[in-house]
Structure 1
Amino acid sequence: MRAFKWGVLGGGQMGYAIKSGAVKAGVIRGSDVIVSDPVFEKESYEAKWKSFGAKCKEDNKEVIENAKFILLSVKPQILPEIANELSKLQEDQTVISVIAGQKLDKLESLCGKAKVVRVMVNTACSIGHGAAALCANEAVTKEDFQEIQELFNATNGAVDILPEKGFDAFTALSGSGIAYVYMMAEAMADAGVHGGLSRDYATKVAVQTILGAAQMAAQTEKHPAVLKDAVTSPGGCTMAGVRTLEKLGYRSSIIEAIIATQERCQNF
């Protein structure tokens, strides 16, 4: 019996978003979480995780020895540095990797005797509105997989079991795509400021516009093109803007950004 149910290797934004979101949702207790991060500045790292009751350590060894489920949330380039520690994992442990571009067979070779689940999620899981995809190796039991799935169900608006071959595309579309939406919100707010609105108000309106558009698409289940056409009158203001965006390669730039992200995932 391990002393902690949930361990985290890597105390950065993603690991924190997942575990803090799960604690807020009530599916895990903060006192059941142990986290290690030798890199982060100690005071800010500990204050963040201790805010919901997690046990903080600077040594990965304590997490590896004491947790049943271990969330592997480090940068891909860190994996070689902790390979020796990961090799000590045992068959009663399950690693949940949220590292982009790291396939199950690679993770299996690093994680000793542990079972392995691969997950991709975005940071909106910290407020219960993320999107997640999961896949597992054959050693993962049905019971353990269900428990992991419940964790992500509680912190995401959409959770899918996805064949591993789709993970790089999902990472690019959702895991990284959320950053591109933030860039759009920032650009829209800049335009509002240019038009004379205050920065705070322009940002508020930009965010609400994106939120409303997303809710319309989700609730009506209409194709985005149909929803766009509903607000694009012949010869109107919106059409003038659509024409400008098309001239500047708006849709093409989004497609190319997501393809470039996917290709980067494939080359880790």
Structure 2
Amino acid sequence: MDVDNGSSDGGVGGSLDIEQSLLQQFSCMGTTDKDELVSQLQKLLGSPSHLNNSTAAFFLDMNNWNLQAAICSYLDIESPNTLPSMALVSDPVATETESIEPDTRFQKSWHICNNGLEQWPAGCYIQFSDGNDFGGNRIQLPALNPAEGTHLCVEMTSPSVPGIYQSKWRACTPSGSYFGDPMWVILTVVEQGTIELTEQLSHFNELGAIPPLAPQVPNPFIRQTLHHRDSSTDNAPPDEMYH
């Protein structure tokens, strides 16, 4: 993310000159609204997709909500040009949809790797970023060297109401900036007992058998028809219902 969105040959000095000019304008506004300050910090440093609300609020709070000081801290600590690189080795697009019953514990795993040229800094982690968190907690990441990989496993619990749910997880730097490919969990929560019934039906199909039907319960208020009837009674009136 470039601070200077104009000419690329201006160097760091040109970026800082533009930055100072903008900061002076915002200082004249004298706003103390925290949401507005978060928005202005994102506007100066890049789009919200690169600098999320929590990261912007972190730098502002660390600097007593001083916009200029927050920008300097961010540029000193980290810039998007130095963000780590991460790629999913497996489950890159989360095409699978797992079926599960309500309120059931399960594990979600991803295989990721450092596909960059530098070692990850200590303190990186993955966390929930959008959708339903399924009760999953933040997981710390090892400081992977380039081309190294690791398997992640998050303990989760399915929602109590049937439906289709999704959860988005991201890798974060120690200061909270997202990097790398997003990781997804997609769940179809079904009624209690549905999975067991589906497995039973599948077993019958494999055996080439027809699943047993529910027994037919006769109506006790209607006299049962006899299988063998006397031909002399064919023209007789039908049996009457009995009490």
| TM-score for both structures, normalised by structure 1 | 0.22
**Which one has a larger percent strand, Structure 1 or Structure 2?**
2
**Which one has a larger percent helix, Structure 1 or Structure 2?**
1
| TM-score for both structures, normalised by structure 2 | 0.23
Larger radius of gyration: 2
